[in-house]
Structure 1
Amino acid sequence: MKSSSFVNQERIVWADVLRFVAMFMVISVHCTDPFNISPAARLNPEYNFWGTIYGSILRPCVPLFVMLTGMLLLPVKQEIGLFYKKKLTRVVFPFLIWSVLYNLFPWFTGVMGYDSSIITKFFVYAGDAPSQAFKDSLHNIIMIPFTFTAFCTHMWYIYLLIGLYLFMPIFSAWVKEATDKQKRMYLYFWGITLFLPYIHEYVSNYIFGACPWNGRFDLFYYFAGFNGYLLLGHYLSKGNSWSVLKTLLISAFLFAIGYFVTYVGFGNRVADPRSTEEQIELFFLYCTPNVFLMTIAVFMISQKIKIDSPFWINIFANLTKCGFGIYMVHYFLVGPSFMIIDLLHIPIPIQIPVAASMTFGFAWLFTVFIYKLLPSKAKWIMG
C-alpha cells in the first residue's frame, strides 16, 4: 500500500508506525477469512465467536492507509503528468505481475498433479472445486483490467488506490485553496454519507433521489467514498493539541463505541443463515460511522507516538519501503500459515494473531530478499 513517507526530507516516524499497524491489521483481516467465510468454520460457534471479535476490531485498516495517503500527498505538489507517472507506474506494474501469478496458481497446481482442494486451502474464497484449467486462468488474466478474482481478493484495494491517485491532483486544486472551514464543511457532508449504507438497508433502498433509472447518484453521492478519508488525513495532519492522556481517553471512548456497533451488527448478521453476503458485510463496510470512529481513534493515538531509537526508526522505515511488496505477496501465505497452525495444534482463540504474525513475517522476509536480489528492479516487482 503506497504512499510517500517523507515530508521536508524528514521521516514522520509515527506515520511509519501507523503504516505498520495498518498493514498488520490488513493481514490479520485476511486471516479471519477462514473463520468468517469457510462454510465448515461458520458451523462452529467458537470460530464464529473469535472471527467476529478479531474481524470487528480490525476494520480501520484500509481507512488508515487512505488517511495516510491524504496526509502525505495532499495537496499534490507535482505537475499532474509527473504525479501520474510516478505513482501509477509504481503501483500498476506490481499489480499486474502479481495478479497474473495469483490467477495462474490454480492451473499450476494441476500441472504439478495436485487435487483442486489444495487451492481452497490457499484461498478460502475459491470454493469447493475451483477449476484448474488453463483456459479459466487465462480468462481471469484477461479480466484483470476490470476485476479481481477469488484467488487475489486483496487486489480490490489496488483498483481503489489507482482511482484515488487519478482523483488526487484534481481534488488537490480545491484542497490547496480551501479554508479550514470549507474543509470541515466537506467532512460534515461526508459524515452524513457514512450513514447511507444503513439507511439503504433499514429504511429504503432508494433515497434522496436515487432510483432505478438513476442508480446510486443521490443527493449526497458527490461527497461519498474514500475521498473523505483522504481529506480527513490531510485535515488532521498537523496533529492535535490535546495531552496524551486526553487523547487516549477520547480515542478509547470513540473506538469502544465503533467496535461495539461493529461487533454486535456483524455478529448478528453472520449468525443468521438467511443473511446475504452484502448483509453480512454491512457492518464491516469501511465507509460507515462505526468504522470511522475506530479509524479516527487509532489515527489520533498514533500521532502521539514518539520514538527516538535509530534502530526502531530504521525498522519502521524498512517496513514502509517493503509495505507494498508485503501486501502483494501476503495472500499467497495466509493459507499455508493456517496449515502450519493445524500441524502445531494452536488453540482457536489465538490462531488469527499467530497466523497473521507468520504471514507478515514471511512476506516481509520475502520482500527484503527480492530487494537484496534485484536492487534496481525490485520496485517494478514489489512496488
Structure 2
Amino acid sequence: MEINGRIRYVDQLRAVSILFLIAINIAMVFKYKSVGNLQEYVIFTTFGFGVPIFLMLLGLLMIDRDYSDIGKFIKTDFIRIFIPFLIWNALLALLMTASAGKLGFNVSCVNYFISKFMTQHWYAWMLLGLYLSLPIFAPYVRATKLKGAKYFLILAISASLIYQLIAYIGSPTYFNLTFFIGPVLYMFLGYYLENHKFNIKSKWLILIGFIIFLITTIYMINFDIFVNGIQKTIFLHHYNFLTENYVDVSVVAILQATGVFLMIKYLNDPKLQDNVILKRIHNSKKFNFSIITISRSCYGVYLLNQSLLLILTTFVDISFLDNIVGIVLLTFILAFLCCAIILGLIELGVPSKYIGYD
C-alpha cells in the first residue's frame, strides 16, 4: 500500500530499524562505560535486525533497476549516499579527535582524524560498496527474476549453514562459498520477499513472521547470554574469520530479519484495513507524518546520531539512564534531535541530498 507515492511498509521498516539501531548505539555506550549487563546484551540481540532490514530494503528498491548508464548512476544514486557520508563521517571523526585532546595543527592530529574517519560508520562503508555493486547484480536479477534470486538464496543459506557449523566447531576450511554469505544475500532476500506471492493469507503471514521473530530472538538471547556468558558471539558475526564483515549472516539472523519483514509488510495489506486498530493507526496523520519523517531522514540519522551521542556523553553524565526506560527515552530524544537538525538544515537551504534526506 502506498501513501503520497511512498510504500508505507518500507517507511515503517526504515523507521523501526533506525530507532532500534540508535538504541543499540546507546546500549553500546553504556557497555563501554562499564562491564556491560544483561539488558544491554538483550538489546543487542533482540534489535540486531536493523542492518539486515536496511539491506533487504536496498535490494527491494534498487537491485532490479536499469543501470546501463553507469555514469548517470554514479552521478545520481551513488553520490546521494557518498556526499552525506563524507560530511557526517568527517564531523564524527573531528569530534572524536577533539574529545581525545588531539585537535591541533600537527601531524598527530591529522593521523588521528584519518584513523577515526576510516574506522567509523562501518555500515556506511559497506553501503558504499553495495551501491557500487548494483550495476553488476541488476542485469542478473532483471534477466532471471525470482528464479535467479531463489538460486542465489539457496546457495547463500546453504553456505551460512556450512560455515555456521565450521565456525561452531572451530575448524578452518578451504571450501569457499563466502561470496554468497556477505551483505549481498540480504539484498536478494528483500527482493525475493517483496516479489514472491505467498499462497497464504496475510493474517497467517503476520503470525508466522511474529513466531519466527520470537523463536529466533529467544534462541539468540539464550545463546549470547546463557551459553556464552554475556558475550556477543553469534556464530557468523563481528569479523568472523570466514565472513570478514560486521553483518550477522547466521541462519538465525536471516530468519529473524525475515520475520520482522513479513510482520510489517503484511500488516499493511489493504485486505486487513477493515481491522479497527490498524485502520486507526494507518489513518493517523501524526503517525504517518512521524514515520515518513524518520524514514526519509534515516540515512542522515544513522550518520549523525553517534556524533550527538558523543557530544551528550562528553558534557552530561547519563549513567543514571543505564536502564531500559532510560535507553528508550534517549533513543527517542536522539531520533528527534537528529531529525530536527536535518529538517532545520533543509529549511536553511542545504540540499537534502547532502545530508542524507530523501
Taking structure 2 as the reference length, the TM-score comes to 0.82
Q: How many residues align?
A: 336
The change in CA–CA distance for 1:135 and 1:353 in structure 2 (over 3 A counts) is: farther
Q: Which residue of 2 aligns with 1:41?
A: 35
Q: In structure 2, what is the Cα distance between the partners aligned to 1:104 and 1:269?
A: 40
Q: Report the CA distance shift for 1:257/1:141 in structure 2 as closer, same or farther (over 3 A).
A: same
Deviations 1:336-370 (A, max 9, x none): 55689956944723222122111111111111111
Per-residue deviation at 1:254? 1.0
Residue matched to 1:120: none
Q: Counterpart of 2:107?
A: 135
Match 1:265 to one of 214, 218, 223: 223
- The RMSD of aligned alpha carbons is 3.3
1:73 — aligned with what?
62
Match of 1:360 in 2: 335
Partner amino acid, structure 1, of 2:254: F
Q: CA 1:337 to 1:269, structure 2 compared with 1: closer, same or farther past 3 Å?
A: farther
Aligned match for 1:303, one of 265, 287, 303? 265
Unaligned runs of 5+ in 1: 1-5, 43-47, 110-115, 117-129, 211-217
Distance 1:223 1:318 in 2: 34
Residue 266 of structure 1 contacts residue 282 of structure 1 at CA under 8 Å; is this kept in 2? Answer: no
Is residue 245 of structure 2 the alignment partner of residue 292 of structure 1? no
**CA deviation string 1:286-307 (max 9, x = no partner):** 2111111110011001112333
SS of residue matched to 1:66:
helix
Report how far residue 202 of structure 1 moved.
2.4
Deviations 1:103-146 (A, max 9, x none): 2224435xxxxxx5xxxxxxxxxxxxx7556534411444578x
Q: Does 1:52 align with 2:52?
A: no
Please tell me whether the aligned partners of residues 80 and 169 of structure 1 are also in contact (alpha carbons under 8 angstroms).
Answer: yes
The residue type paired with residue 172 of structure 2 is Y
Opposite residue 104 of structure 1, the aligned amino acid is L
Query: After superposition, what is the alpha-carbon deviation per residue over 1:172-217, rounded to whole angstroms, capped at 9, x for unaligned?
Result: 111011153332122111012223553343224422x25xxxxxxx
Aligned to 1:32: 27
Q: Is the 8 A contact 1:22 1:60 kept in 2?
A: yes
Residue 83 of structure 2 corresponds to 93
**Contact residue 237 and residue 250 of structure 2 kept, 8 A:** no
Partner of 1:350: 325
Over residues 47-90 of structure 1, what are the superposed CA-to-partner deviations in whole Å (9 max), with x where a residue is unaligned? x1101211111110000001111111121224222122212211
The separation in 2 between residues aligned to 1:245 and 1:314, in whole angstroms, is: 26
Q: What does residue 123 of structure 1 align with?
A: none
Distance, in Å, in 2 between the alignment partners of 1:348 and 1:96 is: 33
TM-superposed deviation, 1:16: 0.7
Distance 1:276 1:310, change over 3 A: closer
Identity across the alignment (%): 20
Pair 161,184 (structure 1): closer, same or farther in 2 beyond 3 Å: same
In structure 1, distance between residues paired with 2:42 and 2:116: 33
SS at match of 1:330: helix
In 2: Cα distance, 1:204 partner to 1:308 partner: 52
**Shift, 1:10, TM fit:** 2.6
What is the distance in 1 between the residues matched to 2:300 and 2:263?
A: 26
Letter paired with 2:189: L
Residues 87, 188 of structure 1: alpha-carbon distance in 2 compared, 3 angstrom cutoff: same
Change (3 A) 1:321 1:200: same
Which structure 2 segments of 5+ residues have no match?
241-245, 269-281
Indicate which of 132, 152, 161 corresponds to 1:186. 152
TM-score of the superposition, structure 1-length normalised?
A: 0.77
Deviations 1:132-176 (A, max 9, x none): 56534411444578x31xxxx3x1111111111111111111101
**C-alpha spacing 1:35/1:242, structure 2 compared with 1 (3 Å):** farther
Alpha-carbon distance change, 331 to 286 in structure 1, aligned in 2, over 3 angstroms: same
| Cα drift, residue 245 of structure 1 | 2.9
Distance in 2 separating the partners of 1:59 and 1:240: 26
In structure 2, relative to structure 1, the CA distance for the partners of 1:100 and 1:346 (3 Å cut) is: closer
**Worse-superposed segment, 239-248 or 56-65:** 239-248
Which residue of structure 1 lines up, in the alignment, with residue 122 of structure 2? 156
